[in-house]
Structure 1
Amino acid sequence: MGSPLGGVQAPEPICLPDPKTRFIATASRLDALSEGHQMAEWLKFMAALARAQHAAALSVALSHPLDEQQLEESVASRQPPLAPELHERDPSWRQGLMVLLDGLDHSPMPEGSAASIDELRLSSADAIEGLAHDFLCGSIDSNDAVRALYVAAALQVYFTLAAASLRAPLLRLLPDRGTCPCCGSTPVSGLITASGRTPGTRYLYCSLCSTAWNHVRAVCITCEGTGALSLRSIEGDSGAIKAEVCDDCHTYAKMLYQAKDMCIDPFADDLATLGLDMMVAEAGWSRHAPNPLLLVDNLRS
């Protein structure tokens, strides 16, 4: 199944990603958003990273995709079949990492990135797997943060490929509707559709495997409360991107409105609207979950 961005004919509960378009679409959107943006150079770098992810997604093949029995057992136990703490990663993901690094060779990079890329190329498989484990467990050391950025990007490619290999009809939404039914990760943003027979449907987009899943609107994706939600946006902007804030749990999540901009991308537009994050954070709300590609603050300087 494809992304609901192009038009959903019905409110499908789960939309698996298309690895052939996921990363190149984000790269193209970042290129467009970078024009005249105050963080133009950083957005151009993130566009180059997305293009490198696209190259990796096209060149890597899973040698041990999840079989149907494993999928059915996970779904029956109400567990995400690609949960990082349970899923045994196919070693092909490290090949994808090397393709990704090669794709950045001729791109302008933030200071320190080239050295970190060289270190990764010389690292042992065990060291790279250790970085992957730390990232997936949320325990990255500050000294490893730059290298972990590229590991995170490669893991996004791998988990997107793995999610795309699953059979959507066999999947089910999790009891915790705020987490991805494929890998159990948190969403990077939500998107309100403007097309299909049911426009106005909300989908959350997984920060790791790119899966989109339906989540009822007017319900907090963190605490599932309904009585203390409101929207915040930057005055004078297009209204395409807003922060849905909850005064019960004091968290927020970004919501993207396709009716305001049909070119909107859940991954690119999140990166390009850090000003909105700063505004709501200063007002006292904490982000529902981090974007995994925002591991290193000084990459944005």
Structure 2
Amino acid sequence: MRQGEAPPDAKWTGPSHAGVKAPEPIVIADPTVRFASTARRLSKLADGHPMEAWLYFMATLAQAQHTVATTLAPAVALNQVDVARAVEARLPPLAADGHRRDASWRDGLALLLDSIDGREWPPAVQEAIELLRSSDAATLEKLADAFLRGGLGHADAGVTVFVVAALQVYFSGSAARLAASDLRLLEERSLCPCCGSPSVSGLITATGITPGTRYLYCSLCSTAWNHVRAVCVTCGGTRKLSVQGIEDDAGVVKAETCGECHTYTKLLYQLKDTQVDPYADDLASLGLDLLVAEAGFARHAPNPLLLVGDGEAVAE
């Protein structure tokens, strides 16, 4: 995963006169809430959905993440000096592809597997669980490195969803130990200022001091950061942007497409549904991804929980 190059010198450079409120540039997630919210939303969205079985599986996985986040809470506390040094060096302090992980993430993986086991999952899921349980520490670390550095092989795809889920809990817990005020938005605004990972989706707020603000949500550490609307997340272009949606649906999730770089990103509208979740609603709107892809647009970054496919193995 690429890292940003240069953070801005200040937290906000917009208007400062009386009556104009600036959005918080960075919001650190609470891991004791984040995964439970995603699990509840997935369970709600799964009911009657064409991919109902798969979404229920993902809801179960998110609930297992919540169990790990609230009981074991795997994480690492970064030294304040190291955080300041990283920000000064124009790097995210919890850089996904450079951070030295604490062994507690593997304990989190073991608890996650225990939490999700015991149900009648398809053979492929059970095989993946047993394979991970029988793997030694070196193998698990190798799988984690391969995912975080973009070198995951097809042969490892079956176990990736569980490794990713465990890493999300670990990085979210680690990010929660940082103060947003110590971080800075990166010059490459499409990347998380905390861990340098790409976003999974963008949420347009309907509440707070600055409704209508777009926040991108990190695919790994759950941090949210402000990104200007009507600007392409991938290339920064503004001339050929268009918002696409599925005809006659509720309009909660749409795709912002860019005719300059031919990529798209998801937009989630809180005004249309106050319970919208940047992670759950992204997974439940795969139909929109397919339609936009057929129109010739590539997603700006993949959802890491989808690297194993589209859920057919679970849904069958």
Query: What's the TM-score once normalised by structure 2's chain length?
Result: 0.90
Q: Does 1:171 align with 2:197?
A: no
Given candidates 155, 159, 178, the residue that maps to 1:147 is: 159
Given candidates 156, 160, 169, the residue that maps to 2:172 is: 160
CA–CA distance in structure 1, aligned partners of residues 267 and 123 of structure 2: 32
Q: Does 1:17 align with 2:29?
A: yes
Q: How does 1:197-208 map to 2 (within 5 A)?
A: 197-208=209-220
- Structure 1 equivalent of residue 199 of structure 2: 187
Cα contact 1:233–1:242 (8 A) shared by 2: yes
AA in 2 matched with 1:189: S
CA–CA distance in structure 1, aligned partners of residues 274 and 204 of structure 2: 11
SS in 2 for 1:155: helix
Q: Does 1:68 align with 2:86?
A: no
AA in 1 matched with 2:238: T
CA–CA distance in structure 2, aligned partners of residues 64 and 24 of structure 1: 21
Deviation, structure 1 residue 63: 6.7
Cα contact 2:74–2:169 (8 A) shared by 1: no
Deviation, structure 1 residue 298: 5.5
Deviation, structure 1 residue 84: 1.9
| 1:36/1:181 CA distance change after superposition, 3 Å | same
Deviation, structure 1 residue 61: 4.1
Structure 2 gap ranges (5+):
1-20
CA–CA distance in structure 2, aligned partners of residues 133 and 160 of structure 1: 17
| 1:92/1:143 CA distance change after superposition, 3 Å | same
Deviation, structure 1 residue 110: 3.6
Question: Once the two structures are superposed, what CA deviation does each residue of 1:140-164 show, in whole Å capped at 9, x if it has no partner?
Answer: 1111111111001100000000110
Given candidates 224, 227, 242, the residue that maps to 2:236 is: 224
Q: Does 1:117 align with 2:129?
A: yes
AA in 2 matched with 1:53: Q
Aligned residue pairs, count: 293
| 1:63/1:288 CA distance change after superposition, 3 Å | closer
Question: Once the two structures are superposed, what CA deviation does each residue of 1:224-277 show, in whole Å capped at 9, x if it has no partner?
Answer: 011110000000001111000000000000000000000100000000000000
SS in 2 for 1:236: coil
SS in 1 for 2:267: strand
CA–CA distance in structure 1, aligned partners of residues 73 and 164 of structure 2: 18
CA–CA distance in structure 2, aligned partners of residues 83 and 103 of structure 1: 28
- Structure 2 equivalent of residue 107 of structure 1: 119
Cα contact 1:93–1:158 (8 A) shared by 2: yes
Cα contact 1:17–1:210 (8 A) shared by 2: yes
Given candidates 288, 299, 314, the residue that maps to 1:287 is: 299
SS in 1 for 2:123: coil
Given candidates 32, 47, 51, the residue that maps to 1:39 is: 51
AA in 2 matched with 1:210: S
Identical-pair percentage? 57
What is the RMSD of the two structures over their aligned residues, measured on CA atoms?
1.3
| 1:167/1:121 CA distance change after superposition, 3 Å | same
CA–CA distance in structure 2, aligned partners of residues 132 and 121 of structure 1: 15
| 1:48/1:61 CA distance change after superposition, 3 Å | closer
Query: What's the TM-score once normalised by structure 1's chain length?
Result: 0.95
Given candidates 56, 64, 67, the residue that maps to 1:55 is: 67
CA–CA distance in structure 2, aligned partners of residues 213 and 64 of structure 1: 22
SS in 2 for 1:297: coil
Question: Once the two structures are superposed, what CA deviation does each residue of 1:55-95 show, in whole Å capped at 9, x if it has no partner?
Answer: 11112345741011111111111100111222100110000
Structure 1 gap ranges (5+):
1-8
| 1:41/1:64 CA distance change after superposition, 3 Å | closer
SS in 1 for 2:256: strand
| 1:102/1:148 CA distance change after superposition, 3 Å | same
SS in 2 for 1:252: strand
Q: Which consecutive aligned stretches of 4+ in structure 1 deviate over 3 angstroms post-superposition?
A: 61-64
Cα contact 1:45–1:107 (8 A) shared by 2: no
Cα contact 1:10–1:196 (8 A) shared by 2: no
